[in-house]
Amino acid sequence: MTKKILIKSGTLITASETFLADILIQGEKIVAVGDDLDTQGAEIIDAAGKLVMPGGIDPHVHLALPMFDTISSDDHYTGHKAAAFGGTTTVMDFVVQEPQGLQYSVDLWREKAQIAAIDYGFHMNLTHLDEQVEREIPSLVEMGITTLKVFTAYNGRLRLPDGDIFKAMRIAKEHGMLTMLHAENGDVIDVLVEEALIAGHTTPEWHAHTRPAWGAVEAAMRGFALAGETGAPLYLVHMNVAGEVDMLHYARQRGLPVMGETCPQYLFFTEDYLRRADGAKWICSPPLRTEEDNTRLWEGLADGTIQVMGTDHCPFFFDGTVPIVYDGEQIAIPGKELGFHDFTKIPNGLPGVQDRMPVLWTEGVGKGYISPNQFMAVMSTNPAKIFGLYPRKGALQPGSDADIVIWDPERVVDYGVSMSHQRTDYNLYEGWKLTGYPEKVYLRGDLIVDGDEWLGAAGKGQYLHREPNTGVL
Ligand code: URP
Ligand code: ZN
Ligand code: ZN
């Protein structure tokens, strides 16, 4: 007989409403939301005094991503487990484009993700374009991949020339796909990096000095202009600077089909962190900026200019020569120490997939920057809509997957590595006191996190075949 669960007397938080109701789950789906539901045969979960939310969706993570001479230290099991503990039940990561073709590249990533513990989708990194690739792009939609990420930086590695981005966006538009843009100026970065190294500047702060904010602003606007020239939608990833918010606002006001995502690190930290003795912990690309940028990003989130809160979770050990114990095993993966003598060799990226919802609840909702409903919109419903998963995901509605978080708004935690399941040796929010934390997390009706206990398993996460033609929020 199909399992029935009744989540009773919780306060439901959706992207648009807050209300008291019960939720009935049958098997993997929500079957009813309301009062006086038929509880016969159901396990009753008392959620009185608790908040009940759709599972979080983090559309920007990098799991087991090879970088420089190492690999991001969470794989498709540990990263998923960490996500779940933070209230996230769906993640999307980026397939590396291999020379053997897009199908081959996706197959490799599907293989890596066999150990998935939550549901997941993929974006395709488009880092090389020729006629063969152009012909192959539409086949991604049949594979359930409706998004291409392009780069205006990382010259000689990931960058596409503007003309190729233009061509890719035209193809994407024709097939109902969405282009995602990493916006920095790769040419300027190359000049500044060369000059910095010649001058003997090797410390982490030079990572920020060599990747100027104006490059991000200009490249973002270049992307929006390409959206204007092609009519194709564009989603700006990891927004990090005030001028990007201004440009996004400008472009949206003029009716361009453009949207944006920021990440917690760009709201809380500045390039000053790079000057610390452990500054390498904060190396990511684009880099951290200034307090003015933090403030403008908060404003953009609050006024709806920015639609999504991702993480760009791409963790590395701070000191990958010293093992940590993870799931009872000693583990050490080369990390930031690779660039101890040269900032250009420090792997770029930060942990954050577990931190995202608890930190933003305390700092965003708790401090009144955003409402609980805005929180839900940027954490779950908007990414579900933008990335072709709504209303299967991102909603508490009959027919939606029963991806549900019961959130204890009163739980106070001393946050940091001791609570984190992210497989790395540090946490950006070490010592922060957070109020509000997930208590129970359900993935398609299965309880996978119960308090501090892990009930999930490798292989239980499902690949999400996403829908094209999602429109612009
Ligand atoms: O530093 C970062 N963000 N690493 C991941 C790659 C990217 O560009 O998102
Ligand atoms: Zn990027
Ligand atoms: Zn990224």
User: Across residues 152-168, what is the average pLDDT?
Assistant: 97
Q: Do 417 and 425 form a contact (C-beta atoms < 8 A)?
A: yes
The SS3 assignment for 433 reads: strand
Residues 431-442 have a mean pLDDT of 98
pLDDT tens per residue, range 183-231: 999 999 999 999 999 999 999 999 999 999 999 999 999 999 999 999 9
Q: What band does 277 get if pLDDT is binned at 50, 70 and 90?
A: very high
Res 46: pLDDT: 97
Confidence tier at 155 by pLDDT (50, 70, 90) = very high
- Does the beta carbon of 153 lie inside 6 Å of ligand 1? no
Q: SS3 letters for 327-361?
A: CCEEECCCCHHHHCCCHHHCCCCECCCCCHHHHHH
What burial class does residue 416 get, using C-beta atoms within 10 Å of its C-beta: 0-12 exposed, 13-18 middle, 19+ buried? middle
pLDDT averaged over every residue in the chain = 98
The stretch 256-263 carries a mean pLDDT of 98
The average pLDDT across 326-336 equals: 98
CA distances from 387 to 59, 146, 176, 383 (A): 8, 8, 11, 6
Which of 229, 228, 287 lies closest to 253, judged by CA? 228
Predicted confidence (pLDDT) at residue 6 exceeds the cutoff of 90: yes
pLDDT score recorded for residue 9: 96
pLDDT of residue 191: 98
Total tally of structural domains belonging to the chain: 1
Whether cis (ω within 30° of 0) applies to the bond prior to 391 is: yes
- Two tokens at 378? 């940027």
With 90 as the cut, is the pLDDT of residue 1 above it?
Answer: no
Of 58, 62, 207, best ligand 1 pocket probe by most atoms within 8 Å of the beta carbon = 62
pLDDT in tens, 49-69: 999 999 999 999 999 999 999
- How does pLDDT run across 400-423, given as a tens digit for each residue? 999 999 999 999 999 999 999 999
Helix 291-302 vs helix 242-253: crossing angle, to nearest 10: 30
Q: For ligand 1, atom 2, which residue shows the shortest CA distance?
A: 349
CA distances from 135 to 129, 131, 178, 232, 276 (A): 10, 6, 17, 18, 48
% of the chain beyond a pLDDT of 90: 99
C-alpha to C-alpha distance for 69 and 15, rounded to whole angstroms = 42
The rounded Å distance from CA 97 to ligand 2 centre is 14
Helices (H), 137-199: 139-142, 162-174, 186-198
What's the pLDDT at 39? 85
Q: Whose CA is nearest to atom 4 of ligand 1?
A: 349
Residues 448-473 have pLDDT tens digits of: 999 999 999 999 999 999 999 999 99
The reported pLDDT for the residue numbered 358 is 98
Q: Which atom of ligand 1 has the smallest separation from the CA of 154?
A: 8
The whole domain housing 134 covers 1-473
425 class by beta-carbon count within 10 Å (0-12 exposed, 13-18 middle, 19+ buried):
buried
From 67, 123, 285, 289, mutation site for ligand 1 pocket: most ligand atoms within 8 A of C-beta: 285
348 lines ligand 1 (CB under 6 A): yes
Q: How confident is the model at residue 373 (pLDDT cuts 50, 70, 90)?
A: very high
CA of 174 to the centre of ligand 3 (A): 25
The CA radius of gyration of the chain, in Å to the nearest whole number, is 21
Across 382-392, average pLDDT: 98
What is the pLDDT at residue 383? 98
Q: Within 13 A of 261's CA, how many CA atoms are on the CB side?
A: 27
Q: What is the pLDDT of residue 132?
A: 98
Q: Quickly state the pLDDT bin for 267 (edges 50, 70, 90).
A: very high
Q: pLDDT tens digit string along 56-112?
A: 999 999 999 999 999 999 999 999 999 999 999 999 999 999 999 999 999 999 999
Q: Strand pairing of 178-182 and 147-151?
A: parallel
Q: What CATH number is given to the structural domain containing 343? A: 3.20.20.140
The DSSP 8-state label assigned to residue 365 in this structure reads: I
| CB-based burial, 63-93: b 16+ in 10 Å, e otherwise | bbbeeeebbbbbbbbbbbbbbbbbbbbbbbb
Tokens of 299: 């404003």
Mention every residue, 6+ apart, whose C-beta is less than 8 A from residue 217.
Answer: 241, 243, 244, 246, 247
Query: Tokens 């564009």 map to which residue?
Result: 234
Non-local CB neighbours of 298 within 8 Å, separated by 6+ positions: 267, 364, 369
Which residue has the CA at smallest separation from atom 8 of ligand 1?
Answer: 285
349-365 pLDDT, tens digit each = 999 999 999 999 999 99
Q: How remote is the CA of residue 418 from the centroid of ligand 3, in Å?
A: 25
